[in-house]
Structure 1
Amino acid sequence: MELNFKQKYMLPKLYSLLVFLMFFSVVNAQNCTLDIGGKNSETIKTIFQLNEEQIAIMETLKGELEVKTKSTEDQIEKLLAEHPQSTEEDLIKLADKYKVLQKQQLDLAYESDKELLSVFNAKQYERYLQLCNEAIRQPIKVEPKIYGIPGIEE
C-alpha cells in the first residue's frame, strides 16, 4: 500500500506540529502550580489544611476561572475545527494562534493560583515551597498573609 502525495508529505508535518505543541506545554509546565481549576480541590484543602475562609476563596477563584477560560476553550475548539490545515504555512499559522490561546489559559490559571497562594499563611506557603522544591518546579512568589490571633486586641 503506497501513500499518496498528500499523505506522504502532510503526516510528517502534522507530527512536527504535535511535537512542537507538546514541547511548548512541557516548557510552561515548569511553574509550580496548584491547578485550582482542575480536580485537585480536595487535595489542596487537605495538603495545605485550608481554613474556611481560604476554602471559600478557592471555590470563588475556581468558579471565576471556569467562566474566564470557557471563552478561550471555545476559541480553541473553533480554531481547530475551522482553520485551514492543508499546507505547511496553514499549520504554522494554526500553531501560532493556538499558542496564543494556550498562553491565555495558562496565564489565567497562574493568576488564580497566585491569588490563592496570597491568602496562605507562612506555614502553608512554606509547605508549598517545600513541595515545589521536591518537584523541581519554580514556585509562584507571593507574600504570605499574616493572620491575627482571635481575641487579642492590638
Structure 2
Amino acid sequence: MRGPLVALSLFFLVNLNAQDCLLGIGGKDDEVIIQTFKLTEEQQENLKNWGAELKFRNEIYTNRLKNVLRNYPTETLENLEVRAQKHSDLLDSMEANMRLLDKRLLGLFSVEQYNLYVSLCNQIQRVPIYTNVSQNKN
C-alpha cells in the first residue's frame, strides 16, 4: 500500500515542478526580454504587437471570468463545481494564449538566442517551450 502512495506523491511533485518556462510577453518585463535576448528591430516589433494582442485577449477572458463569478450560483456543491470548472477552463485558456505568443516569439529567435533561453529555463528548473529555430538567421 505504501508503494503506490509514494509513487502517486512523486507523480504530483514532478507535475508541480514541470512548469513551462514562459517569457511573459505583454507584461512588465518586455524591456528585460529585449535586453536579455538582444532582440532585433523585427523581433521587438513583433513583441510589442503580440503583447497588445495578449492584453486584448486577456481582457476578454477577464470579462468572462467576471461573468462566471457574477452569474453562477454557489448554493449547492454541484453549482460550485460547475463554477470552479468554468473558472479553471478560462484560466487555462489564458495560460495557453501566453504560451502560444511566447512560442511565436521563440520561433523568431536565432539559435544563440534560443540556446540562452533554454539555459535560463534550466537554471530556474522550468521546462523550455520547444520550437524549431534552426532556420533563423537573426
What is the TM-score when the length of structure 2 is the normalising length? 0.82
Report the structure number with the largest CA radius of gyration.
Answer: 1
Percent of pairs identical after alignment? Answer: 33
Note the C-alpha offset of 1:29: 7.6
Superposition map of 1:109-148 within 5 A: 109-144=98-133, 145-147=135-137
In the TM superposition, structure 1's runs of 4+ consecutive aligned residues that sit over 4 Å from their partners are 26-29
- Aligned partners of 1:29, 1:38: CA distance in 2, in Å? 22
1:61 alignment partner in structure 2: 50
| Letter of the 2:83 counterpart | L
Aligned to 1:32: 21
Matched pairs, number: 124
**Secondary structure at 1:125's aligned position in 2?**
helix
Consecutive unaligned residues in structure 2, runs of 5 or more: 1-14
Tell me the distance in 1 between the aligned counterparts of 2:64 and 2:16: 23
The aligned counterpart of 1:78 is 67
- The equivalent of 1:14 in structure 2 is none
Q: For the residues of structure 2 that align with 1:60 and 1:37, how far apart are their CA atoms?
A: 9
Cα distance change on mapping 1:99 and 1:79 into 2, 3 Å? same
Deviation at 1:27, TM superposition (A): 4.5
User: TM-score, normalized by length of structure 1?
Assistant: 0.74
Unaligned runs of 5+ in 1: 1-25, 149-154
Give the conservation status (yes or no) of the 8 Å contact 2:18–2:127. no
